[in-house]
Amino acid sequence: MRRIVLLCIIATCCVSIVQAQKGLSISDFFEKPFAKATMVHVEGSELTPYHLTLYRSVSFSDTYLVVDAMEKSVLTDARLAYSKEMGNQGKRLYYAFLALPPRDGHHANRYIFYRNASLREDGKDELTLVYMEGSATMDELKKLFKK
Amino acid sequence: MEETIMINWQEVVNRYFDGETSEEEERLLRRFLATEAGQGSEFDEVRAVMSVFAAGKAVNQTRHKSRKLWPWLAAACVAGLAWLLWTGIGSSQDVCVAYVNGQKITDRNEVLALMQESWNDIEMQETGNTVEEQLTDLFNTLE
């Protein structure tokens, strides 16, 4: 009986540890609302038509405040990606489209999208980060929200 | 007076060995044995016996307490594991919220519009002039 209980305790601890490590580096930007940013969090039935389960985005207008930290986070998580499309402007990361494997025990694909529009000559001073989960493919995402 | 007290305690001790004392009498006897008057050699035997029984009772109480605790611990672990598995599977929940400069927006249409706007900002069709320019340069060089 005691052995069974001990096994239960160990199993619970292991699962807790696994759950705690599921976070990505970019998750820091979705923790709480920023004073000068636009954040979107949509989850559930609204996204079903797009074959998505989760959509989170954050856009900053004063890019200089966060560009270093955000670039670093995106590049950190890019190491986990099985598919990536990235481009630079000079030494800065201009865009990144990353496809990551599902979390342990899940089936939904994970995607990270990043765009630093301020690097374009005519671009607005804006930095956008999007995180998605779902069964949609990259091709489907290219047509996302288009009617 | 003192003699009377000793004789009385001896009587209690005799009844203790005969198994005729109540719990209260045994408790009082233990207290007496801890006093100076109860340090006499005539009480050594009863002191030794009561010590052994006291130690055995303490061990049994500890075992009894831990035996009571294990089922609750097991139940808590199973409940915790079930909760973690359930949240891991991801109980479906609908969320539709946005924050603009810290201001919370819950109007569905507004939130979805902001979602579309943010996705447009990603410009997935536009992978950057840098790639096109580089390809153009590459083909120009080959020619």
Over residues A93-146, the pLDDT tens digits come to: 999 999 999 987 788 899 999 999 999 877 788 999 999 999 999 888 888 766
Question: What letter would DSSP give residue A24?
Answer: -
**B118 within 8 A of A130, measured Cβ to Cβ:** yes
> What is the DSSP pairing of strand A83-89 with strand A92-100?
antiparallel
Asked casually if ipTM beats, i.e. exceeds, 0.85, the reply is no
Residue A59 is predicted with a pLDDT of 96
Residue B2 has pLDDT above 70, yes or no: no
Residue A96 is predicted with a pLDDT of 96
Residue A58 is predicted with a pLDDT of 96
The length of chain A in residues reads 147
Nearest by Cα to B118 from A115, A73, A82: A115
**B88 within 8 A of A105, measured Cβ to Cβ:** yes
**Which positions in chain A touch B78 (Cβ < 8 Å)?**
8
Q: Name the residue facing B70 among A1, A89, A120 (closest C-beta).
A: A1
Dihedral, A74, A76, A80, A84 alpha carbons, nearest 10: 40
Q: Percent of chain B, pLDDT > 70?
A: 64
Average pLDDT over chain A reads: 86
Q: Name the residue facing B124 among A15, A42, A142 (closest C-beta).
A: A142
Q: Choose the mutation target among A3, A5, A131 for the interface with B, i.e. most B CBs under 10 Å.
A: A5
**Which positions in chain A touch B70 (Cβ < 8 Å)?**
1-2, 5
> What is the DSSP pairing of strand B95-100 with strand A127-134?
unpaired
Distance CA B115, CA A55 (A): 8
Question: Is the pTM above the cut of 0.80?
Answer: no
Domains of chain B, residue spans: 2-89, 94-125
Q: Name the residue facing B115 among A34, A42, A53 (closest C-beta).
A: A42
**A130 within 8 A of A60, measured Cβ to Cβ:** no
Residue A69 is predicted with a pLDDT of 95
Q: Choose the mutation target among B92, B121, B132 for the interface with A, i.e. most A CBs under 10 Å.
A: B121
Identify residue A27 by its one-letter amino acid code. Answer: S
Residue B117 is predicted with a pLDDT of 93
Write the DSSP assignment of B95-141 as a string of letters: EEEEEETTEEE--HHHHHHHHHHHHHHH-TT---HHHHHHHHHHHHH
Band of residue B44 on the pLDDT scale cut at 50, 70, 90: confident
| pLDDT tens digits, B87-130 | 554 445 899 999 999 999 999 999 999 999 999 999 876 654 44
**A81 within 8 A of A67, measured Cβ to Cβ:** no
Cβ contact, residue pair A43, B95, below 8 Å? yes
Q: Percent of chain A, pLDDT > 70?
A: 83
